[in-house]
């Protein structure tokens, strides 16, 4: 850089040597860089002291690591909230597209090929054979009889009209003949005699022909009636004489379903009359009204009551009394009550095994002393001790009940074969309902058994209000909650807690059976078109 100064006259004049333009730019950049580095260094010294600089760096790195882990967990939760069902099947079931409402995250293992239904359940109708008329069959017979009578009346009216037309034609012919006879007054007497003879012969022939024509008409009527009966038998491929059987599982919402069936739909139940506990049952079956529900005078809660119901003719002589059966023992009902002529259709409302066990524990703790299931030791017992040591804890109760193992004097060891058999029974013989889908499940039951066809004398608004109260306003026979119940309920809801894992281990077969039932709930809705 050239500088021009005006020094003192005594001083000498000095000038800097000339420099190039590139050197000038380099010098400027170097000065700027050194200035910025000194400025940053000075500010870093102010922000981070030298002795705490390493700690601050570690702190920043730890924050970054926590952010990465949190973002990863958020992505995993998002994937769980938007899942697609994974179904691993040994059978070749075609995949189906599902809507967002029907998606759930569960892995399903289908029973392998070769698994069959026990012979006890051979009198339970397959779920794919839907009924074409509600039970009992007498109602449908009345409808068919009315239709047949109407058809016969129409035929008789048509025949009477044909006879009238024939008579009118004969009268017209007679009038024409009379007119011709008046014109031909001068006819010979012999011709008149011949005409009289011909008339007598015609009348004799008509008298002979009339009975034969009547016989032919009767034969045609019988043939037409037989053809109609054969057509009705061919069209009615399902077994409408099979009675609906509700498998009532304790603490699974079954009381709400029976309340809807009895109070809202006015169906007569064959289960157990509440006022007849510890009292002998009558020898003659009848219908008793208790509150707003109707019951047949039987007790299907014990094997002895089931035998009594069969001997008194529940499904034979008095089959018209009941609309459905409610029982805790489907295996015993299928074995001792049903036969080849009197079959049944099984449906059930299932609940998660862990939630069912929690509800049972709370229910047992609040029982009064006069109740047959009362146990004073449960009043102050902890739930961990109940799960580990108490005999009332349900040990795979779903699987044992459907296979008839619940009445064994000593609990037998369950195997994978038992689990696959129970799965196949649920798939082929049982209409599935879920407590978590209580409203849609009730609609499926009504649709399948044709209980939604209300009579014109039934108030539809009253039915809808009654169902809304029974299903959604409150749980029938629900035990009062407590602070301790809320505490261990929150603990069990955590799937990683020790209590949840312990209860799952003790009910591993029921746990898998329930997950398979959730799949069947979707499958039946699609396959049977129940939704």
Phi/psi at 344 (nearest 5 deg)? Answer: -140, 165
Taking residue 517's Cβ as centre, other Cβ atoms within 10 Å add up to 22
Average pLDDT on 65-79 reads 76
Contacts with 437 (C-beta within 8 Å, 6 or more apart), sequence order = 521
Strands (E), 357-447: 430-434
pLDDT for the residue numbered 526: 92
344-350 and 324-327: which strand pairing?
unpaired
CATH topology of domain 107-135+240-267+323-527: Rossmann fold (3.40.50)
Domain ranges of the chain: 21-80, 107-135+240-267+323-527, 147-235
Nearest to 479 by CA among 368, 390, 386: 368
pLDDT above 90 for 333: yes
pLDDT for the residue numbered 310: 92
Taking residue 247's Cβ as centre, other Cβ atoms within 10 Å add up to 24
Q: What angle do CA 298, 300, 302 make, to 5 degrees?
A: 120
Find which of 36-45, 242-251, 300-309 is predicted with most confidence, using mean pLDDT. 242-251
pLDDT for the residue numbered 507: 95
pLDDT band at 87 (very low <50, low <70, confident <90, very high): very low
Per-residue pLDDT tens for 234-274? 444 457 889 999 999 999 999 999 999 999 999 999 998 76
H helices of 312-403, in order, are: 330-336, 353-365, 383-389, 397-402
Q: What is the DSSP letter of 403?
A: T
What whole-number distance in Å separates Cα of residue 520 and Cα of residue 531?
Answer: 13
Query: What's the token pair of residue 287?
Result: 């219908």
Average pLDDT on 285-294 reads 89
3-state secondary structure of 145: helix
What whole-number distance in Å separates Cα of residue 481 and Cα of residue 503?
Answer: 20
Tallying the residues shown for the chain, one arrives at 531
Cβ atoms of residues 244 and 325 within 8 Å:
yes
pLDDT above 60 for 491: yes
pLDDT for the residue numbered 120: 95
Q: What is the DSSP letter of 124?
A: B
What whole-number distance in Å separates Cα of residue 321 and Cα of residue 285?
Answer: 9
Average pLDDT on 201-219 reads 53
Q: Model-level pTM?
A: 0.64
- Exposure string of 62-91, with b = 16+ CB inside 10 Å and e = fewer, is eeeeeeeeeeeeeeeeeeeeeeebeeeeee
Query: What's the token pair of residue 314?
Result: 């529940």
Q: How far apart are the first and last CA of the chain?
A: 93
Average pLDDT on 402-415 reads 90
**Counts of helices then strands in the chain (DSSP H, E):** 16, 9
Q: What is the DSSP letter of 86?
A: E
Longest Cα–Cα distance of the chain, Å, equals: 193
Cβ atoms of residues 384 and 163 within 8 Å:
no
């Amino acid at each position: 850089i050239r500088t021009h100064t005006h020094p003192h006259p005594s001083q000498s004049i000095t000038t800097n040597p000339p420099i190039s333009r590139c050197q000038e730019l380099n010098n400027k950049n170097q000065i700027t860089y050194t200035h910025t580095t000194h400025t940053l260094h000075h500010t870093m010294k102010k922000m981070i002291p030298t002795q705490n600089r390493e700690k601050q760096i570690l702190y920043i790195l730890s924050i970054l690591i926590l952010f990465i882990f949190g973002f990863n967990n958020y992505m995993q939760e998002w994937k769980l909230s938007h899942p697609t069902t994974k179904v691993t099947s040994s059978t070749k079931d075609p995949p189906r597209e599902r809507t967002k409402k029907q998606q759930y995250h569960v892995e399903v293992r289908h029973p392998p090929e070769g698994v069959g239904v026990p012979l006890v359940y051979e009198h339970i109708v397959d779920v794919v054979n839907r009924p074409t008329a509600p039970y009992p069959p007498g109602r449908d017979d009345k409808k068919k009889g009315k239709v047949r009578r109407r058809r016969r009346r129409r035929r008789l009216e048509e025949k009477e009209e044909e006879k009238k037309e024939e008579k009118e034609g004969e009268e017209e012919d007679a009038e024409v003949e009379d007119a011709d006879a008046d014109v031909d007054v001068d006819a010979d007497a012999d011709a008149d005699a011949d005409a009289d003879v011909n008339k007598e012969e015609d009348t004799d022939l008509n008298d002979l022909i009339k009975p034969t024509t009547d016989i032919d008409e009767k034969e045609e009527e019988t043939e037409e009636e037989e053809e109609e009966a054969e057509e009705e038998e061919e069209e009615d491929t399902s077994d409408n004489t099979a009675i609906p059987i509700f498998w009532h599982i304790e603490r699974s919402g079954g009381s709400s379903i029976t309340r809807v069936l009895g109070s809202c739909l006015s169906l007569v139940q064959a289960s157990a009359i509440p006022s007849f506990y510890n009292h002998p049952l009558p020898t003659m079956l009848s219908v008793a009204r208790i509150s707003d529900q109707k019951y047949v005078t039987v007790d299907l809660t014990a094997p002895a009551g089931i035998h009594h119901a069969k001997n008194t003719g529940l499904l034979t002589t008095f089959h018209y009394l009941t609309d459905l059966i409610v029982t805790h023992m489907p295996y015993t009902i299928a074995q001792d009550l049903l036969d080849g002529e009197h079959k049944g259709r099984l449906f059930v409302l299932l609940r998660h095994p862990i939630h069912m066990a929690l509800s049972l524990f709370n229910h047992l703790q609040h029982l009064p002393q006069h109740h047959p299931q009362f146990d004073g030791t449960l009043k102050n017992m902890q739930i961990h001790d109940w799960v580990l040591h108490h005999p009332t804890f349900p040990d795979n109760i779903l699987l044992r009940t459907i296979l008839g193992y619940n009445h064994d004097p000593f609990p037998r060891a369950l195997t994978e074969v038992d689990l696959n058999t129970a799965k196949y029974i649920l798939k082929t013989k049982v209409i599935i309902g879920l407590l978590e889908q209580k409203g849609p499940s009730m609609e499926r039951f009504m649709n399948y058994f044709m209980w939604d066809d209300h009579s014109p004398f039934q108030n539809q608004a009253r039915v809808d209000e009654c169902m809304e109260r029974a299903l959604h306003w409150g749980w029938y026979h629900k035990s009062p909650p407590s602070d301790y119940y809320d505490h261990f309920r929150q603990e069990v809801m955590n799937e990683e807690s020790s209590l949840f894992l312990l209860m799952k281990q003790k009910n591993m077969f029921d746990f898998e059976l329930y997950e398979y039932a959730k799949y069947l709930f979707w499958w039946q809705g699609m396959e049977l078109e129940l939704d």
